[in-house]
Structure 1
């Protein structure tokens, strides 16, 4: 690696420097593509933990789905509360993420298939937060979605409180 960087620094012309930089980038990316073989150089457990959190937050994991046919206002409000709070949690996490690289970015070709799918999913952040049936437009700003979800959450909490108090 040091030799590659030395060639960049000592390149006699702009063309030679650009060629040396391209070779250095390609070498770094080839090394990176083998990162899973490194005992401490790659944290696959962190990726798995992140995927588990996102999986746990899926609306399909709503425990109040069991009571969806009860007709009880309390159950309906609890179901909405779980769903809205999960979506708000996802929105707040998505807001903190950096912009994902475009599919033609050189590093994407060196990611494993799971990582490439994650990057592709992150390009349409609004779809991670809301289903299209909720009226979300393509690439709606996650902050705007979070604000709407916060409003929905507050309304649902008021409804749930009222239902609890009426029992």
Structure 2
């Protein structure tokens, strides 16, 4: 009887962990992390601005695929990855324009499903779609791309993004 209870409570705990992984972390978790790592996040922004043409660094890939073609060394990519791990955004950044650099703190999805991402955005100008909180954000019932921001301070924001698969 005891063994059954242990297995039962173990399975219940596993269900809870899986359920939690499917939900974005609370804003406060990201804000606490931001406060701890603000200087390093600012350092990363300066690096991205300097390395024009480098639009993505992830754990095991970059865009462009060979960053040396734009003058970014392997050592520099390794430095990005070290700093990104330090600030707890190991999935890296997206910088499709110099006006916005997104640091991916949490995400779920795949090439064949909807994607949801939550993280930090460095923006050159304030966005229009601001919210007081991203916790429990309910996207509209459409299949449109949605991106909502919460201001931290200065050019820094939290963001929540939904991309239909």
TM (norm. structure 1) is 0.26
Name the one with the larger strand percent. 2
Q: Give 1 or 2 for the bigger CA radius of gyration.
A: 1
Name the one with the larger helix percent. 1
TM (norm. structure 2) is 0.26
